[in-house]
């Protein structure tokens, strides 16, 4: 089955700086890669996703890049703000014939230092 590795486990950046979180996956059949943000005690919230037919997607301060050959994808957050502090999870899914269960990384605890 699919295995998703996520690094780093903790990331501390100064407010206003950029943050990058990286994930690798093992199953070449995976073609859908979402990112979720989870605040303490809250539900995971979908913040951005990418399908394997594109290499990059951007939404305001958030961008995701995908390298299918190397089987890795990354989340980039620019101009970080205190409200970006949370745990971020990457995930992968093969979506053959439609949506499928997601395999998640272990998460990155992002800390924005004022």
Partner 1 sequence: NAGVMQNPRHLVRRRGQEARLRCSPMKGHSHVYWYRQLPEEGLKFMVYLQKENIIDESGMPKERFSAEFPKEGPSILRIQQVVRGDSAAYFCASSPPSRYEQYFGPGTRLTVT
Q: Which is nearer to partner 1, 77 or 102 (CB)?
A: 102
* 76 vs 88: CA distance, rounded Å: 11
* Count of other CB atoms within 10 angstroms of residue 108: 22
Tokens of 72: 């890795």
Q: Which is nearer to partner 1, 17 or 56 (CB)?
A: 56
With CB under 8 A as the contact rule, the residue among 28, 46, 58, 113 that binds partner 1 is 46
Q: Which is nearer to partner 1, 77 or 91 (CB)?
A: 91
Stretch that binds partner 1, among 18-26, 58-66, 68-76, 98-106 (CB under 8 A): 98-106
Is the separation of the CB atoms in 34 and 100 below 8 Å? Answer: no
């Amino acid at each position: 089955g699919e295995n998703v590795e996520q690094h780093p486990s903790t990331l501390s950046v100064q407010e206003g700086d950029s943050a990058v979180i990286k994930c690798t996956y093992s199953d070449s059949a995976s073609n859908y890669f979402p990112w979720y943000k989870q605040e303490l005690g809250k539900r995971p919230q979908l913040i951005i996703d990418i399908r394997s037919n594109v290499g990059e997607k951007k939404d305001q301060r958030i961008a995701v890049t995908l390298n299918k050959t190397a089987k890795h994808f990354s989340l980039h957050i620019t101009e970080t703000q205190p409200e970006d502090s949370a745990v971020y999870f990457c995930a992968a899914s093969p979506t053959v014939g439609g949506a499928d269960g997601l395999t998640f990384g272990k998460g990155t605890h992002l800390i924005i230092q004022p």
